[in-house]
Structure 1
Amino acid sequence: MRSYMNLSVAPCDDFYEYACGNWKNLLTNTELAQALNVSTELQVAQKFYNACLSAVVFPFPAAEPAYLKLIRSVGGFSKNPEGVANYLAMLLLYTMDAKLKGEKYHKDYCLSMVRFSFPHLLNKLYMADQFNERTRSEVYAIVQEVRNSQRKALEKVEWLDPETRREAQLKESTIESIIGSYENEEITTRMIQEIRGLDLKEASYPQSLIHLRKLVTRLRRFNGFHYEELHNESKPLDFLLGMQVNAFYYNLDNSIYVMAGILHPPAYHPDWPNSLKLGTLGYLMGHELTHGFDTMGSNFDSEGEMRNWWSKKSRAVFEERAMCFVDYYDRYLIPEINRNINGKGTQDENIAVSGGLQGALDAYRNQMKQLKNRSEGANATLESEKMPGLDLSPEQLFFLGFAQLWCADYEQEHYWEELGKEHTIDKYRVLGAVSNNHDFSQVYNCPSGSPMNPKNSCRIW
């Protein structure tokens, strides 16, 4: 059997045999399947590829070498080395194919490849140009406002018993806020210096592309390759990339990360009124903070350790309220594909949307209360909270800003793609959040019992 690990050889003459003939020989190793805790033959081969050739990210520095050692210790793949080589070569070629539909896409593809391949270098340039201390200070203040409202919610929520409440308050009090990005200048510098090792072949685009992919793999697996010299508390490399459009809560260190890349419209602009800032960025902060207290986050304590800190009574009420969200979203029918939202699969995100929206609104109202107390005229304060040309009250603008974060134009195929993901399809993410928020129905005068102001709604925090 011919081996195609030499990528200069094209398997065109016997491609069908190449693609189909080796498949069963390669994927019948049940011993490896059990060792890697996967159930299908396809997953076995995919995990092997991810561990060896793909730019897979390992969150824990020590995990990658142990993973590779486990694979090498299982002898099944060595029984059919040609089959392994053929499969991995085909998979590698497939992943390196840009699948472009025309020459007009070449430039954008090349730009995206540069961005994907050298993110830490470009991030350094981006942060110097796009992020400053004024922005960091204001965003940190917004996070603190939302945290204050979350703290008050934990104090007054009636269904928590005293012991569980103390644990929840301890967890909230120890959350660390990282604004812009996580910083580790030593690792950033080393990642940039790795680029010097890129070997470009002017006469061979395919060979240069292979070398580029090898460099990307080395960079993305930096923590794994250097796990012996890195501190045990090293963060995933993506945490260093402030230019990414993202904000997230990280259970393992009980921290919220607000990346610089998200600090642009429609999420944030420094000149917006507070009503819009809290409805957009404030909501996003509240959303991520609530993840620390959803069905997954509630399993981690204040130190990021997985531990059950709940009493049986409080946990039972929590699960009952969480199930309310499952049932509520299950009822949303997507007429374009005649399918319902998966309430169970999107449960934690829906809980975070609800908690984040309420937390941001409470933070905004508290902020306005303080401003009115310091201001000479309450009317002047309210006027400054409106947007010129929009006949909306500040709180109406707050909810409008939240909704516009998720404006999207879906084709039918997009509904199918999004249906199985952890986030609810954008339209129903918005509708589900505001219809479960009593303040929204008051602000927009929604009739009682209407779809936007139902008699039975869901809330945890």
Structure 2
Amino acid sequence: MGSVWCSISSVGLLINFLLLVFPLTLAEEPKVIRDCKSDLTCHADRMKSFMNFSTDPCDNFYEYACGNHRQHKLYQYSRMNYFGDSAYILDDMARELLDRMDLAESLNVSRELRIAQRFYNTCLEADLHPFSAADPNYLNLIRSIGGFPAVDGAAWNASNFNWVNMSAHLSNYGARGLIHEEISSSTRKKPYLSLAELGFDYIGQAENSNQKNSTRVRKQNQKIMRTYLRSFNLTGNRISQVIDGVLEFWRDVEGTIIDKNIYDLSENFDISSYFKIAWNLDEGEMSHNTNFEKLDKVCARHPEAVANYLAMQLLYAFDANLQDIKYQKDYCAATMRSSMWPLFKKLFLADTFSDKKSLELSEIVQEVRSSWRKLVEKVDWLDSDTRQKALLEESSFPTLIGSREYTLLTDRLVQEILHMEVTDGNYAATNMNLLRLKVDIHRFSTRLSTERSSDTRTQEGMFSMNTNLTIFPGNLHPPAYHHSWPHSLKFGTLGFFIGQQLSNILIWQWQHLDLVFKDHNECLANTFSKHLKPKFDRQLSTLFDTGGLRQAFEAYRSHRKQILEHPEQEMPGLDLLPEQLFFLGFTQMSCYEHNTEWGRRKKFKVLSALSNSEDFIQAFNCPVESGMRPAEKTCHLW
């Protein structure tokens, strides 16, 4: 099942069109780039503003396409997560939809929209920077679910503390306790429970599991804990004692539990209270692993440290983590939209989706699917039986655009917002209620969708489909798609997403070919890492990026042959051939802040895919031993 901190386990069975927003213009404060409507000059100007024309595209195409991106101010409030910078334009759209009471009334969701408005206003009026960790609302909650010995001292009673129960309570607010829950089609209505990774931030958790003594990770975790503990006016010595206790607990866990991914069932450890607190289920005999018994013994040796750690994890979930107060407006919009996503999906669907757009999307999907089939029919590493099974499997996937069943599910989820209580003038209390709502919606949607057919399983920001390809119209915005763009740009962006995830769905079913895939990834890593960054993660190159890019390009070629009587549209001011524009669009979807871990990984994944694309090399006529063509030979499956 892979690392337990990653909540997306069904990666091989999903179509997920991530919405990536164009970066913001350079200004004193970040400004959201508005919709250019059908003005190609406006879209072209945006694309040009990110480019560094002094860089030869054959030397470093990422620098050429995104070199000026670092001069644009990004939203700084958000912690890095799996989706990176993918939701910003949805946040801006949600902010605009707040004023559409007319639309809400026509859809019978006006009460829900008023709740969203009240939360947004309460959030804007709050003092979120710096974070008020000592707010009585947060402290009272912590005391009610397990306590905070660092703050309460002798008043805290270890005999009343239960790490399972406190972890369950944390999960109700989206906070990371010591238990990670995961639900899939096999576990149905109840989650599979396993051990959570230790640590606070996303990258820290990943590295903490691989580099136990990493100085950078240790310092980052210590900084977070020290910031919260200072809010309670503890002495420096006391703060050091608390942090040392937490770190000692972590070391004991890592030394006692060598392999967290053990899935043998245990009948000797009672986990039923977790299901009761988190899922309101009386039956607790659901699958969990034997490591809980080991963890229970470790927690018994460090009860005070465990309670302190869990208390600070809850504070971390409530913390807006703003680098500056000027980002508060963006944070409030993001928090509102991501927590009340069914409401804003419904409003947006009614406001923007059209039959014309649906028809074009269907055409793009079918072109990419057709190119995938042609490529599968030609490759020599597939045996005949596997080839036929793959083709049969692909042909069975329906394409759902604006799925009716998904719409029905969304309608039901919107009603959950009515349970949200907003306390005007009290952001902490409202914040707690909102995070609880977000978790409830996620759990409710997961449980409800598993009761329906497999093609309606959903969660915020993604759609996980077992047997179909789904395009949800709310994700169809720049830089992934715009109806006015030239076809080459649409196929380089949206077409790539389709091809990438189609490869994702089917390659995972070819596990007996793992040696072929291993050799391919090794070839990609060797070719690229030797030329640019030998010490960089060798696992960055994936089958899905290279495969998706090839499929999308072949689909564009096929599409061009069918519409030869119509000249390809150009982007004004961009002196690029259609094939070159294809790769520019693909790359600019990944213009991230380079100083983030996510940004660095994205950059090198893109460069790896391009430097091994014969289509890219021909489009820009890159010579051998140039930056983007380090060797004569390229590595590709297709």
Normalization by structure 1: what TM-score? 0.71
Q: Deviations over 1:130-166 (max 9, x none)?
A: 3222212211210100110110111111232212211
Closer, same or farther: CA 69–456 of 1 in aligned 2, 3 Å: closer
| Cα displacement (A) at 1:64 | 9.6
Instruction: Tell me the equivalent position of 1:387.
Output: 571
| Cα displacement (A) at 1:265 | 2.0
- Which sits farther off after the overlay, 79-88 or 437-446? 79-88
Aligned with 1:347 (options 534, 537, 541): 541
Instruction: Could you tell me which runs of 5 or more consecutive residues in structure 2 were left unpaired when the two chains were aligned.
Output: 1-138, 152-231, 264-270
CA contact (8 A) 2:500 2:547 kept: yes
Structure 1 distance, partners of 2:528, 2:427, is: 50
| Cα displacement (A) at 1:34 | 8.2
Closer, same or farther: CA 81–368 of 1 in aligned 2, 3 Å: same
Closer, same or farther: CA 137–88 of 1 in aligned 2, 3 Å: same
| Cα displacement (A) at 1:417 | 5.0
AA aligned to 1:347 is S
| Cα displacement (A) at 1:391 | 3.5
Q: Does 1:326 align with 2:529?
A: no
Structure 1 distance, partners of 2:328, 2:431, is: 14
Mapping for residues 389-428 of structure 1, pairs under 5 Å: 389-410=573-594, 413-414=595-596, 416=597, 418=599, 424-426=601-603, 428=604
Aligned with 2:487 (options 274, 292, 295): 274
Mapping for residues 48-63 of structure 1, pairs under 5 Å: none
Instruction: Tell me the equivalent position of 1:5.
Output: 143
Aligned with 2:548 (options 334, 347, 356): 356
Structure 1 distance, partners of 2:290, 2:409, is: 28
Mapping for residues 210-289 of structure 1, pairs under 5 Å: 210-223=432-445, 226=447, 230-231=451-452, 233=454, 235-238=456-459, 244=461, 253-289=466-502
Structure 1 distance, partners of 2:518, 2:427, is: 56
| Cα displacement (A) at 1:273 | 2.1
Instruction: Tell me the equivalent position of 1:452.
Output: 628
| Cα displacement (A) at 1:67 | 6.0
Q: Deviations over 1:299-349 (max 9, x none)?
A: 4xxxxxxxx5x4xxx654444333212322332534xxxx63322x2232x
Closer, same or farther: CA 84–196 of 1 in aligned 2, 3 Å: farther
Mapping for residues 426-437 of structure 1, pairs under 5 Å: 426=603, 428-437=604-613
AA aligned to 2:343 is L
| Cα displacement (A) at 1:230 | 2.9
Number of positions where the alignment pairs a residue of Structure 1 with one of Structure 2: 401
Instruction: Tell me the equivalent position of 1:44.
Output: none
Closer, same or farther: CA 386–254 of 1 in aligned 2, 3 Å: same
CA contact (8 A) 1:150 1:359 kept: yes
Instruction: Tell me the equivalent position of 1:90.
Output: 312
Structure 2 distance, partners of 1:362, 1:140, is: 17
| Cα displacement (A) at 1:121 | 1.1
Q: Deviations over 1:80-101 (max 9, x none)?
A: 8766554433321232122334
Closer, same or farther: CA 442–68 of 1 in aligned 2, 3 Å: closer
AA aligned to 2:521 is A
Q: Deviations over 1:390-414 (max 9, x none)?
A: 433322322332233233452xx32
Q: Does 1:124 align with 2:346?
A: yes
Q: Deviations over 1:354-402 (max 9, x none)?
A: 2222212211221222223xx3xxxxx3x33433444333223223322
Structure 1 SS opposite 2:451: coil
Structure 2 distance, partners of 1:275, 1:107, is: 36
Structure 1 distance, partners of 2:306, 2:336, is: 30
Q: Deviations over 1:276-318 (max 9, x none)?
A: 2222221222122122344xx244xxxxxxxx5x4xxx65444
Structure 2 distance, partners of 1:160, 1:234, is: 28
AA aligned to 2:557 is R
CA contact (8 A) 1:51 1:68 kept: no
Percent pairwise identity: 33
AA aligned to 1:219 is I
AA aligned to 2:529 is D
AA aligned to 1:287 is Q
Instruction: Tell me the equivalent position of 1:368.
Output: 560
Structure 2 distance, partners of 1:394, 1:333, is: 28
Structure 1 SS opposite 2:491: helix
Structure 2 distance, partners of 1:108, 1:365, is: 40
Structure 2 distance, partners of 1:30, 1:444, is: 50
Structure 2 distance, partners of 1:117, 1:134, is: 30
Structure 2 SS opposite 1:321: helix
CA contact (8 A) 2:394 2:506 kept: no
CA contact (8 A) 2:421 2:433 kept: yes
Structure 2 distance, partners of 1:137, 1:156, is: 29
Mapping for residues 168-187 of structure 1, pairs under 5 Å: 168-180=390-402, 183-187=405-409
Structure 1 distance, partners of 2:535, 2:304, is: 46
| Cα displacement (A) at 1:455 | 0.9
Q: CA RMSD in A?
A: 4.4
Instruction: Tell me the equivalent position of 2:286.
Output: 66
Q: Does 1:191 align with 2:191?
A: no
Closer, same or farther: CA 51–127 of 1 in aligned 2, 3 Å: farther
Structure 1 distance, partners of 2:277, 2:531, is: 41
Structure 2 SS opposite 1:178: strand
CA contact (8 A) 1:279 1:402 kept: yes
| Cα displacement (A) at 1:418 | 4.6
Instruction: Tell me the equivalent position of 1:158.
Output: 380
| Cα displacement (A) at 1:266 | 2.1
Instruction: Tell me the equivalent position of 2:174.
Output: none
Instruction: Could you tell me which runs of 5 or more consecutive residues in structure 1 were left unpaired when the two chains were aligned.
Output: 40-46, 300-307, 376-380
Structure 1 distance, partners of 2:290, 2:619, is: 58
